[in-house]
Amino acid sequence: MDKIRWIANTMPKTDDLQLSVMSLENVNKAREFHKSFPQYNVTPLANLAHMAEFLGLKSLFVKDESYRFGLNAFKVLGGSFAIARYIAEQLNKDVSEIDYNYLTSDKLKSEFGQATFFTATDGNHGRGVAWAANRLGQKAVVLMPKGTVKSRFDNIAKEGAKVTIEEVNYDECVRKASQLAEQTEHGVMVQDTAWNGYEKIPAWIMQGYGTMASEAAEQITDRPTHIFIQAGVGSLAGAVQGYFANLYKDNPPKVIVMEAQAADCLYQSAKAGDGKIRFVDGDLNTIMAGLACGEPNTISFDILKNHSSFFVSCPDWVAEKGMRILSAPIKGDTQVISGESGAVGMGLIYTLMKNPEYKELKNTIGLDENSSVLMFSTEGDTDPENYRKIVWG
């Protein structure tokens, strides 16, 4: 069995200019925008009190994003807000003037017309962009990497987007989508990863993710001492880290960033220790499809290296363990249907508390009976067949 790998963050700090992307004011604007959608509800925060007691923690909370907008994942928060901010900018308006009713109105059609939003996705982000474009009368084109399962493809296609599965990995799909957007009239790239020269829209996407973090901060009854957050390109991790660093300026929680071992670019960057980004390439084979990204988001990398405490590289068995635990909770706790990319936090927390082999990591992180732990289950069973195979098989 492959081992969990970890490293404490010793990367040199920067001037921290990106932290303001996730300011409370920016996140509040995103949340107000999302509230204008008729589909908006605050997703549940499961309080796994019995599991916390069993593991020897003070408390354990799981934000359950399988209820988000009926899309089974959190990603729509980013894509929808980025589309709104793009349209607002084109019309010289502030995003606070752009709500769901306005975006779906005839007035918008005459003032803005129609754009085509391009993106690359392992599933959830593309579905969110396609859903938002469809609701708002815009067009979407979505590229998916090789090995994409049919259910994820179908979910995007039924939102009216033009979808293709390419013969390349995720990071190559991003480059292809970007080229197509440049060649298309009114073509816009809406990608949740940033690179030099492409930072504005990814920053807006991160702010959209802030809605989830801000809901959790209001719902949680114990101020968190530890936050476990998963990373693909790192946009979600940077968003959560950035929001809580701004919210709890004086005494922020320790943030533990987790990646799929097959695509652990942030862990590799932290291990190198010089503050420079490292890429992971190849097929990036992992069940954690949403985390199979080898090239980090430059904005979130800056936030993570300034604020996160640990980077952990997790083999697939960690996610599988988390899926099974959350699906069969201790009596009295709430069941959470968590997909491959959503459950890795539960698998890691359980392993640290129960497997003596990882005692050093547990102690270094400082997990004990005084710890209040928050994690984010970012997707439900977005690949239902594989979910059942892992949980039932």
| Residues marked as catalytic | 75, 122
Residue whose structure tokens are 């039932």? 392
Residue count (the chain): 393
In the structure encoding, which two tokens stand for residue 26, read together? 């920016």
C-alpha 313: how far from chain center: 16
Pinpoint the alpha helices (H) of the chain. Answer: 24-35, 49-55, 76-90, 100-103, 106-111, 124-135, 150-157, 170-183, 200-219, 235-247, 265-272, 298-307, 316-327, 344-354, 359-365, 384-392
How many angstroms separate the CA atoms of 190 and 125, rounded? 10
Q: Edge-to-edge strands of the sheet including 162-165?
A: 162-165, 139-144, 116-120, 187-189
How many angstroms separate the CA atoms of 119 and 141, rounded? 7
In the structure encoding, which two tokens stand for residue 187, read together? 């073509």
Asked if 40 contacts 69 with a C-beta cutoff of 8 angstroms, the reply is yes
CA 143, 179, 201, 264 torsion: positive or negative? positive
Bridge pairing between strands 59-64 and 116-120: unpaired
Residue whose structure tokens are 């190849």? 282
Asked if 225 contacts 199 with a C-beta cutoff of 8 angstroms, the reply is no
How many angstroms separate the CA atoms of 231 and 266, rounded? 8
Q: Determine phi and psi for 170, rounding to 5 degrees.
A: -55, -50
CA 284, 285, 291, 292 torsion: positive or negative? positive
Coil/strand/helix, residue 164: strand
